[in-house]
């Protein structure tokens, strides 16, 4: 043990000041990788300012704007492992170049034409490390594509089945490639080669036609806590119903159902969502809803009969007209919504279905209500900035006008929701 | 060399996301961290990969550092863990849990003794030849001074496996040294 300790001390001293200069491109790559986080914060501030200015600038009742969705996408920039070539920055959206690099990373070196300083046959390595006469066997490329496709296909299918896990499919495909026996039998433990740019382009073109990888999935930071903001335009259909009113013995109560497409409702909400589960999430949101309301009814009391004498000495008996109303107004609701969301993959997009309930206060009448809510969200675009049309159906009922009326609203909303 | 107070100020600025501070911080640590990566990696190329992964983690997680005085240890530990993750990801079976008792291999002459007689670059070359798991163990135990229970925790293996892996690493090292002609006699002569 003492012998070990002495050796450990000596080796620790030997390597205490061991320093190696990293590659010149390292800092650029690191900075590119950490930059999106910074932009996201700036965007969040901008977004909040914009959201606050919306209702002030456009008016509360006639807003027709858009709210925008910011995704948590990390706009990862991938840098090919090229040594001795001009660096090519490739974004995730350029899938074909990535496919090429995917293979490029795993193309084995077939002949060991010489050893570099690492004792391995890296080709196209920097001139200092590249042995004279080394070259890549590009004839091997077609032979590799077939087993690669074969190995990657199950992974691709698997990716398609689990898309909502927000996994980068390329990572899975890479893992599949690593299991290809050919690579295991490669002459070096970690076969790496670097294609010249023209070979890379040729390979890319071929892969585009022969190998259809799924579109890159937006890689989202696996956040378990998300804040949301939404703006919706609501089209509402209302149905008034009579309430039994024994104290006034109301009868012959007539109401008119009304759909007023000229007068739209609006809704703003700020929410918080917990996504600890694979597909599901739970959300809570504070909503403000403004709906048009039209009262149109006549109320007659059969207990009070009005008798009039006609010119031909005939009597005419009519029930007393108690009230005749035809007026429009707006109702304001403030509610706390609890919803359950489930995300599934439809048409290559993660679609979130949600359903829940809302405890609401009708501000006009200071009246508590319960609403049922259901809807779906579909993200548009792959960038960090996602637009999500939000269709929502909600059913609510309100007792209005001195409990004479019961109004049931059916609203269909179309809006934009953002996560941040 | 940056003074301790200045370094703490630099870390605080990095925690606020100051780009200039991040660049200065990178400049300060890059060579030392790359040195550590080189030791843990098989090749310079792999070391570059681990280095970049590690530094990205450093900047993304630096906000969580509370004991700013221990930033050196924090970074070193993060780099080591990144190396572990790197090799674990690329070869999932790099460590096989081994219940066998340590010392099962014949221990004719301790090959670690020979390392004491070698130059730094020679040691590096010999260690680089070791398989991933053995290289990790040798680095952790011999150079970075971690004890077996710490290594076991970092690698997610048992203490017994850590010890037996070290024994196997010795056996493997002995073979490499013999193939390289770096026998005990030769090194004594050299020394």
At A29-48, the pLDDT tens digits run 888 888 755 555 555 566 66
Nearest CA to CA, how far is B140 from chain A (Å)? 10
CB pairs below 8 Å between A and B: how many?
Answer: 100
Q: Name the residue in chain B with its Cα closest to that of A8.
A: B142
**How far A4 CA sits from the closest chain B CA (Å)?**
8
Q: Is A81 on the interface with B (CB under 8 A)?
A: yes
Q: Any chain B CB within 8 A of the CB of A27? A: yes
Instruction: Report yes or no on A35 lying in a domain.
Output: no
* ipTM higher than threshold 0.85: no
Distant-in-sequence, close-in-space partners of A276: CB < 8 Å, separation ≥ 6: A224
Q: According to the model, what pLDDT value does residue A375 have?
A: 84
Q: Are B31 and A15 a contacting pair at CB < 8 A?
A: no
Q: Can you give the residue range of the structural domain that contains A392?
A: 225-298+327-419
Q: What is the CATH number of the domain that holds A236?
A: 2.40.160.20
In a domain, B98, yes or no: no
In a domain, A244, yes or no: yes
CATH number at residue B146: 1.10.10.10
Domain identity same for B84 and B119: no
Q: Kindly report the pTM of this predicted structure.
A: 0.39
Inter-chain residue contact A20 with B35, CB threshold 8 Å = yes
> Are both B78 and B13 inside the same structural domain?
yes
Tell whether B74 and B118 lie within a shared domain.
Answer: no
Half-sphere exposure in the Cβ direction for A411 (13 Å, CA): 29
**Residue to test with chain A: of B143, B166, B179, B180, most A Cβ within 10 A:** B143
Residues A214 and A331 in one domain: no
- Assigned domain for A313 exists: no
What pLDDT does residue B183 have? 57
In chain A, the number of structural domains is 2
Tell if the CB–CB gap between B110 and A3 is shorter than 8 Å.
yes
CATH number at residue B85: 1.10.1740.10
Nearest Cα to Cα of residue A307 among A298, A293, A318:
A318
Say yes or no for a CB contact (<8 Å) between A27 and B42: no
- DSSP per residue, A252-286: EEEE--EE-TTS-EEEEEEEEEE--SSSEEEEEEE
pLDDT of residue A285: 92
Quick one: A202 and A253 in the same domain? Answer: no
Report yes or no on A81 lying in a domain. Answer: yes
- Cβ within 8 Å, pair A34-B47: no
* Residue A72 falls inside a structural domain: no
Judge if B72 and B18 occupy the same domain.
Answer: yes
**pLDDT for residue B111:** 65
Report how far residue A103's alpha carbon sits from residue A173's, in angstroms, rounded to the nearest whole number. 10
Tally of domains within chain B = 2
Query: In B, which residues are within 8 Å of A85 by CB distance?
Result: none
Residues in chain A closer than 8 A to B191 (CB atoms)? none
A38 touches chain B (CB under 8 A): yes
Residue B71: give the domain boundaries: 4-90
In a domain, A348, yes or no: yes
Burial label, A174 (beta-carbon count in 10 A; 0-12, 13-18, 19+):
middle
- The DSSP 8-state label assigned to residue A120 in this structure reads S
Query: What stretches in chain B show pLDDT beneath 50?
Result: 93, 97-107, 186-191
Neighbour-count burial of A67, counting CB atoms closer than 10 A to its CB (0-12 exposed, 13-18 middle, 19+ buried): buried
pLDDT (0 to 100) of residue A265:
85
CB contact under 8 A, A11 and B142: yes
In tens digits, what is the pLDDT along chain A, a chain of 420 residues? 566 777 778 778 888 888 888 888 888 888 888 875 555 555 556 666 666 665 555 443 343 332 222 222 222 223 333 333 333 333 333 334 344 444 444 443 333 233 333 333 333 333 333 333 333 333 444 455 555 555 555 544 444 444 333 344 445 455 555 454 433 333 333 333 334 445 545 555 555 555 444 333 333 445 577 788 888 888 777 766 655 555 444 455 555 555 555 678 888 989 888 877 767 889 999 999 888 877 766 666 666 667 778 777 777 777 666 667 777 788 888 999 999 988 887 776 778 888 888 888 888 777 787 888 888 887 765 433 344 455 555 555 554 445 456 677 778 777 777 777
Distance between B2 CA and the closest CA of chain A, angstroms: 15
Q: Chain B: give the shortest CA distance to residue A20, in Å.
A: 5
User: Which residues in B lie closer than 8 A to residue A11 (C-beta atoms)?
Assistant: 115-116, 123, 142-143
B101 lies in a domain? no
Residue B22 domain flag: yes
Nearest Cα to Cα of residue A323 among A251, A236, A372: A251
**Is B190 strand, coil or helix?**
helix
Give A296's strand partners.
A326
Whether A21 sits inside 8 A of B52 (CB atoms) is no
């Amino acid at each position: 043990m003492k012998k070990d300790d002495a050796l450990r001390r000596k080796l620790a001293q030997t390597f205490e000041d061991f320093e190696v200069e990293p590659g010149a491109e390292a800092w650029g790559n690191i900075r590119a990788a950490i930059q999106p986080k910074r932009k996201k914060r700036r965007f969040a501030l901008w977004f909040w300012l914009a959201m606050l200015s919306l209702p002030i600038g456009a008016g509360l009742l006639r807003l027709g704007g858009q709210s925008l969705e910011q995704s948590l996408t990390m706009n990862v920039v991938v840098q090919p492992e090229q040594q001795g070539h001009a660096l090519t920055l490739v974004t995730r959206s350029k899938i074909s170049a990535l496919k090429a690099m995917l293979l490029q990373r795993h193309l084995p070196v077939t002949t060991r034409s010489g050893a570099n300083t690492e004792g391995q046959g890296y080709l196209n390595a920097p001139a200092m490390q590249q042995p004279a006469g080394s070259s890549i066997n590009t004839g091997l490329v077609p032979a590799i594509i077939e087993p690669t496709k074969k190995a990657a296909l199950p992974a691709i299918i698997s990716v398609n089945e689990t898309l909502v896990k927000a996994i980068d499919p390329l990572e899975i495909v890479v893992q599949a490639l690593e299991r290809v026996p050919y690579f295991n039998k490669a002459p070096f433990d970690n076969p790496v080669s670097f294609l010249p740019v023209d070979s890379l382009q040729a390979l890319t073109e071929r892969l585009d036609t022969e190998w259809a990888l799924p579109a890159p999935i937006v890689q989202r930071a696996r956040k378990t806590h998300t804040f949301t903001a939404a703006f919706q335009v609501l089209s509402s259909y209302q149905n008034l119903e009579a309430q039994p009113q024994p104290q006034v013995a109301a009868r012959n109560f007539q109401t008119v159902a009304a759909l007023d497409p000229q007068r739209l409702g609006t809704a703003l909400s700020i929410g918080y969502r917990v996504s600890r589960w694979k597909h599901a999430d739970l959300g809570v949101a504070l909503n403000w809803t403004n709906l048009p309301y039209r009262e149109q009814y006549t109320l007659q009391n059969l207990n009070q009969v009005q008798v009039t004498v006609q010119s031909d000495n005939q009597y005419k008996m009519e029930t007393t007209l108690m009230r005749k109303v035809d007026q429009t107004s707006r109702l304001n609701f403030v509610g706390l919504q609890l919803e359950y969301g489930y995300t599934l993959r439809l048409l290559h997009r993660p679609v979130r279905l949600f359903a829940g309930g809302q405890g609401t206060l009708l501000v006009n009448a200071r009246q508590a209500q319960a609403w049922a809510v259901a809807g779906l969200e579909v993200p548009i675009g792959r960038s960090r900035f996602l637009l999500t049309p939000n269709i929502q159906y909600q059913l609510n009922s309100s007792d209005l006008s001195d409990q004479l009326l019961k109004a049931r609203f059916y609203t269909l909303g179309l809006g934009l929701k953002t996560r941040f | 060399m940056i003074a301790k107070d200045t370094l703490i100020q630099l870390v605080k600025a990095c925690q606020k996301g100051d780009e200039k501070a991040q660049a200065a911080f990178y400049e300060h640590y890059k060579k030392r961290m790359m040195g550590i990566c080189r030791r843990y990696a098989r090749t310079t190329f792999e070391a570059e990969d681990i280095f970049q992964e590690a530094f990205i983690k450093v900047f993304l997680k630096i906000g969580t550092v509370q004991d700013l005085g221990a930033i050196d240890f924090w970074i070193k530990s993060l780099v080591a863990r990144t190396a572990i993750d790197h090799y674990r990801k690329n070869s999932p079976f790099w460590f096989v849990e081994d219940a066998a008792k340590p010392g099962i291999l014949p221990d004719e002459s301790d090959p670690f003794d020979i390392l004491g007689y070698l130059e730094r670059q020679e040691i590096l070359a010999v260690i680089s030849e070791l398989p991933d798991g053995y290289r990790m163990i040798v680095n952790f135990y011999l150079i970075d001074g971690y004890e077996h229970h710490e290594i076991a925790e970092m690698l997610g293996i048992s203490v017994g496996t850590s010890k037996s892996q070290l024994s196997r690493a010795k056996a493997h090292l002995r073979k490499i040294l013999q193939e390289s002609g770096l026998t005990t006699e030769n090194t004594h002569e050299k020394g």
